[in-house]
Structure 1
Amino acid sequence: MNNQKLLGSEEWCVFEEMGIPAIKARVDSGAKTSSIQAANSKIVMRHGEEWVQFDVHPLQENRSITVHCEARLIDRRIVKSSSGISEERLVVKTPVRLGPDKFDIELTLASRDTMEFRMLLGREALSGRYLVDPGQNLLAGEFTADRLEQLYASYIHKKSGLKIALLASNPHLYSNRRIMEAAQDRGHEIVFLNVELAYMKLDANSPEIRYRGGNILNEFDAIIPRIRPSVTFYGCALIRQFDNLGVYCLNSAEAITQSRDKLFASQLFARHDIHIPITGFAKSPNDTKDLIKMVNGAPLIIKLLESTQGKGVVLAETNKAAESVINAFKSVQTNILVQEFIKEANGQDIRCFVIDGKVVASMQRQAEKGEFRANIHQGGRASMIKITSEERKLAIKATKVLNLSVAGVDIIRSNRGPLLLEVNSSPGLEGIENATGKDIANTMITTIEKKLKYHPKKAIEL
């Protein structure tokens, strides 16, 4: 007992043989085995023995530094996480240095990118060597910011910026070109990935994403998804795979899926007290007349659940016309929403561009004469507008409900206040940048820098 040293709840560890000069660990006597964050794990043979190659982001909240490691595989174990979920993990054995002490340690390779610490020091490593005082930190030694910058200097100069992928379908669209230009202007490397040319390997030990010809995509810091509706299912599967590999995704797959399901999104908005035009949904054609009456009768809007950019949206000016259109859609098993028509809007609506919980630009859209929908893709005109505080709060709340980091929020002004029309998870930039003069593409890139703690003039953020 007298020979045991004291550790705090956080300590710096050094793995010389794996090339990790410093990694901060949470000391947890409640966990049996120590673990380390590992991505892109791959098993290889060395002189008849199994070894594991893997990548570690050793500094907290900093994915711009990656250490490529390898260590001998000694086991595969079923480990139960703190949330109670059991999973198989690879186990390696390697020397660790804690202050002046150096000894062998077993590490399970875990996906810890979303956790506060990139390493957990368990009781097997502590037993017989250390006592833990949870009220103190860094008793085995401290690494200053200057020292860390010095230690990781060789990893920093190799890369002047982030490596970003734009996941979309058409590289020539205005929005996609602007995003790529903005990333390049800020010193980042950005590549265009066609959603339909990427494919994935689902494997617990070595998951992968490959691209046209077998190239492995494993070095991205961030993904900007701009998925067109027709490839939502596959695009979101790719986004989940990138997320599993530890890549930051500007909009998550879950958020995009929710926003694309207009019925589910409407139900979420209603649950969170976000006011929308009165909306109806039904399966059977038997109650079409009551469905129309329920949304205050004609004129009314009929829209396909998968409609986008104003397509698949119909104005029925009479009850009879509404019945005919609704029953026609139902006869071909097409899901539709029926929505009240806001006459007092006079063909105008508002598009708010929300990034990271802030409205960064707003424009008013005016429908062409004879049109009921103010959509730029349908010939509408755009102009800058100053929104009210109520409209701003509505736009921000709607994106939070869907958990979107980037969104175009469409609002309509009615006699009973602002109403939410819909939220677009891949909003276009051309109309709103031209109308407002705001550099929205640049704001999207700086948001990624903020999320990844990247500073152009400061390579390490601790």
Structure 2
Amino acid sequence: MYGWVIYNGHLTGNKFITFSKWIQYAGEKEGIDIKLKRNDQVLPIVSSNGLGLLDHDQFPAFVIFIDKDIVLARQLELLGIPVFNSANAIELCDNKVLMYQALGQKKLAIPLTIIAPKIFTGSKINSENFLHIEKSFDYPMIIKEGYGSYGEQVYLIENRTQLIEKINQVHDRPFVFQEFIKSSYGQDIRIYVVGDEVVASVKRVAENDFRANAQLGSTMEAYQPTRKEKELAIQATRALGTDFAGVDLLIGANGEPIICEINTNAHIENIYKYTGVNIAEHIISHIKLELNC
């Protein structure tokens, strides 16, 4: 059995190549030959003769996609190659606006969210048109860009002046206004789901930031999620159609879990460091089950 792991060829950090190598090693343990491929090594071809991949005549039996190159993932699917996660799942998780729509459609627990309108670059912004959202949110509130990683595109808005300033800054990008969950200030729970199973979980706590992302300096410890937290995490991944994902849960005022977001390529090294669980092995087991091998 022969597969690929595709990761982004233009990122300078080692986290994605490490993720890919762990999957490769997990495959070797199961007798599966997995090759690592950068996304710039697998270029889609579209012509009057149909679809293909540049310099590739033989295709793998499956692809594990550790990237957000949605067009490439979809091309692979159109060529009949099973892709984990699917292009649709990656797209929903990559754009948080679409993600919250999908979660809201399933009536899952999320912060109250208002989606900003489409505004073209160079358009004149009438800030007064946005002030009616103050009827729905108290300050502080959150503005969150649709595209972003590591918490860097999430902003805590303390007052009307900051609200108007941030709208003018991000207006030509997809973004949402969101209720701030004060009870979860600086802390969240990451639950890793593979298939329909919770396989590991950690709690993250930041001392000096409302965001709990590890890249912003939070501490981390192994965590045993409650039944309700597990159920919500699995429901979230089902709503988005993921095969494997890290689900970040906020802690509501009464301790109830609230979905913050879902990440289709959440890093697995820290999970292993704090829990001893190798997510890559679970991913390989899930794929074997899905492919009946």
TM-score by length of 2: 0.88
Q: CA deviation at 1:280?
A: 1.9
Name the CA distance, whole Å, in 2 between partners of 1:350 and 1:404. Answer: 19
Match 1:181 to one of 25, 31, 36: 25
Shift of 1:223: 0.3
For residues 99-114 of structure 1, the aligned pairs below 5 Å read none
Indicate the SS of the match to 1:202. strand
Aligned counterpart, 1:242: 76
Counterpart pick for 1:202 among 33, 46, 49: 46
* Aligned counterpart, 2:268: 429
Partner of 2:122: none
Give 1:320's match in structure 2, choosing from 143, 149, 161: 161
Residues 1:286 and 2:125 aligned together: no
Q: 1:271 is matched with which residue: 105, 127, 131?
A: 105
Is 1:306 aligned to residue 150 of structure 2? no
Q: CA deviation at 1:290?
A: 2.0
In the alignment, does 2:232 pair up with 1:394? yes
Size of the aligned set, in residue pairs, is 279
Q: Secondary structure at the match of 1:273?
A: coil
Could you tell me which runs of 5 or more consecutive residues in structure 1 were left unpaired when the two chains were aligned.
1-161, 455-462
1:40-189 aligned within 5 A: 162-170=1-9, 172-173=14-15, 174-189=18-33
Equivalent pair of 1:275/1:419 in contact (CA under 8 Å): yes
How far residue 175 of structure 1 moved from its aligned partner, in angstroms, is 1.7
Matched residue, 2:250: 412
AA aligned to 1:341 is F
Q: Which residue of 2 aligns with 1:193?
A: 37
Larger radius of gyration: 1
Instruction: Point out 4+ residue stretches in structure 1 off by more than 4 angstroms.
Output: 203-206
Q: 1:197 & 1:432 partners in 2: Cα distance?
A: 29
Aligned in 2, Cα 1:349/1:188: closer, same or farther, shift over 3 Å?
same
Q: d(CA) in 1 for partners of 2:3 and 2:157?
A: 45
Shift of 1:165: 0.5
- 1:327-406 matches, within 5 Å, as 327-330=168-171, 333-367=172-206, 369-406=207-244
**CA distance in 2: counterparts of 1:382 and 1:406, whole angstroms:** 21
**Which is richer in helix?**
2
Q: CA deviation at 1:334?
A: 2.6
Gaps of 5+ in 2: 118-125
Question: Match of 1:428, SS?
Answer: coil
Q: What secondary structure does 2:262 align onto?
A: strand
The residue identity in structure 1 corresponding to 2:32 is: H
Q: TM-score, normalised by structure 1?
A: 0.57
CA distance in 2, matches of 1:204, 1:444: 37
Q: CA deviation at 1:217?
A: 4.7
For 1:108-144, what per-residue CA distance to the aligned partner results, in whole angstroms no more than 9, with x for missing partners? Answer: xxxxxxxxxxxxxxxxxxxxxxxxxxxxxxxxxxxxx
Q: Write the distance in 1 (CA, Å) between the matches of 2:47 and 2:161.
A: 55
Paired position in structure 1 for 2:282: 443
Q: CA 1:188 to 1:318, structure 2 compared with 1: closer, same or farther past 3 Å? A: same
- Aligned-residue identity in percent: 28
Match of 1:258 among 52, 76, 92: 92
1:421 & 1:204 partners in 2: Cα distance? 43
CA RMSD of aligned residues (A): 2.0
Deviation at 1:409, TM superposition (A): 0.7
